[in-house]
Amino acid sequence: DLVHRRKEDDAKQHLTLAHALSKIDMGSLVFFIGILLAVATLEHAHVLTALAQWLDQTVGRQDVIVMIIGVASAIVDNVPLVAAAMGMYSLTQYPPDHFFWEFLAYCAGTGGSILIIGSAAGVAAMGLERIQFFWYFKKIGGLAFVGYLAGAGTYLVQYQWLH
């Protein structure tokens, strides 16, 4: 308000804090708070640790585990899925700059775009632009999956070549 104090009331109405707060999509905000609380509950109950141990014993390979998490992020939003992965694997096991976290960032971020419900941006776009889930699934989902696999393959080849 101080910055725009010399403007007429009509001219500064859309610049006010109250106007900005009225544009917040509270439904999406509550949705993400709920999901993050659910992830925290699973972590507290040691379910995520058990899941990590099961994945390590069943799948074994880090790159395949991360790619599975990436594909899962198409269904479960990628933000809570990464939060869950942070609860599944410790920073002592995988330090901050480890391959696991770098590849997870790619796979969860890109995998979240395979379906429109897999990312915060997709959920927001559904609400703001009225994009239908099945339209996105038919027209974009397959292309996003091919792009996901191509990018993951390229990342793995580059990582092997540079390390």
pTM: 0.72
Count of beta carbons in the 10 Å neighbourhood of residue 160? 9
pLDDT tens-digit series, residues 84-99: 888 888 888 889 888 9
Whole-angstrom Cα distance, residue 85 to residue 81?
Answer: 6
> Residues in the chain with pLDDT < 70?
1-5, 9, 11, 13-15
Tell me what pLDDT residue 29 has: 80
The per-residue pLDDT for range 118-129, each reduced to its tens digit, is 887 888 888 878
Question: Which residue type does 126 have?
Answer: M
13-27 burial, b for 16+ CB within 10 Å, e for fewer? eeeeeeeeeeeeeee
What pLDDT score was predicted for residue 5? Answer: 67
pLDDT at site 114: 92
Distance of CA 141 to the CA centre of its chain: 16
Torsion of CA 101, 104, 109, 111, to 10 degrees: 180
